[in-house]
Structure 1
């Protein structure tokens, strides 16, 4: 993992937690590919409620038995490195919304 400081981008992939790639959760496949590509960092965040292109609301509320809860995969690195990684995302089927946002990294520390 590389240390970041200054200008960077945040790549966010929004998808459902029941999406898979070769019997592995799609979010896990994305994180492992980002790690193998040497990107600075990736995290997965599970949502409790959301909707997307289908307009169906998915929720984790007790009385609802909805599956496919929302998941956000967030990857941060320099813009050239993230853009170099984008073709790997295109290989994966079923991707939801993918966004890129400019940001400034003001500090990092190792959580390991």
Structure 2
């Protein structure tokens, strides 16, 4: 469902292990493909090179030997209501992942035309 102009723009962030699979496919890829099929405004995956997780250890990857494992973030943008509805449709993926999920309303401050 496309975002209405009067909806608040929001960002859904899902943090999970990039090695998490759902039906032999990376869970992050499944989330992005479902967001596309749902007609949401945009979705991206960001693989982290360093971070800490629930095990208490530091996770890091050498950029020369990068592999899609370790912490990653899936960011999806659209209207707040659309993201909440979408979140309800991906519970089957998220229930198999150790994931942190948040929805944040995006505050956009535009400048006057022609001014930085």
User: Is the 2:42–2:76 contact (alpha carbons within 8 Å) kept by the matching residues of 1?
Assistant: yes
Structure 2 residue matching 1:68: 3-state secondary structure:
coil
Q: Tell me how large the CA RMSD over aligned residues is.
A: 2.8
Structure 2 residue matching 1:73: 3-state secondary structure:
strand
Structure 1 residue matching 2:40: 3-state secondary structure:
coil
| Count of residues paired in the alignment | 106
User: Is the 1:9–1:76 contact (alpha carbons within 8 Å) kept by the matching residues of 2?
Assistant: yes
Q: For structure 2, which runs of at least 5 residues remain unmatched after alignment?
A: 111-116
Q: Partner of 1:32 in structure 2? A: 33
Name which of 95, 100, 104 aligns with 1:97. 100
Q: Structure 1 length normalisation: TM-score?
A: 0.79
Aligned CA distance change for structure 1 residues 67 and 75 (closer, same or farther; 3 Å): closer
| Cα deviation digits, residues 39-77 of structure 1 (max 9, x gap) | 110000111011222222211148xxx983211100000
Q: Partner of 1:41 in structure 2? A: 42
Aligned CA distance change for structure 1 residues 30 and 95 (closer, same or farther; 3 Å): farther
Q: For structure 1, which runs of at least 5 residues remain unmatched after alignment?
A: 108-112
| Cα deviation digits, residues 74-93 of structure 1 (max 9, x gap) | 00000111011011231111
Aligned CA distance change for structure 1 residues 72 and 87 (closer, same or farther; 3 Å): same
Which segments of structure 1 move beyond 6 Å, counting only runs of 4 or more?
3-6
- Of the two, which has the highest radius of gyration? 2
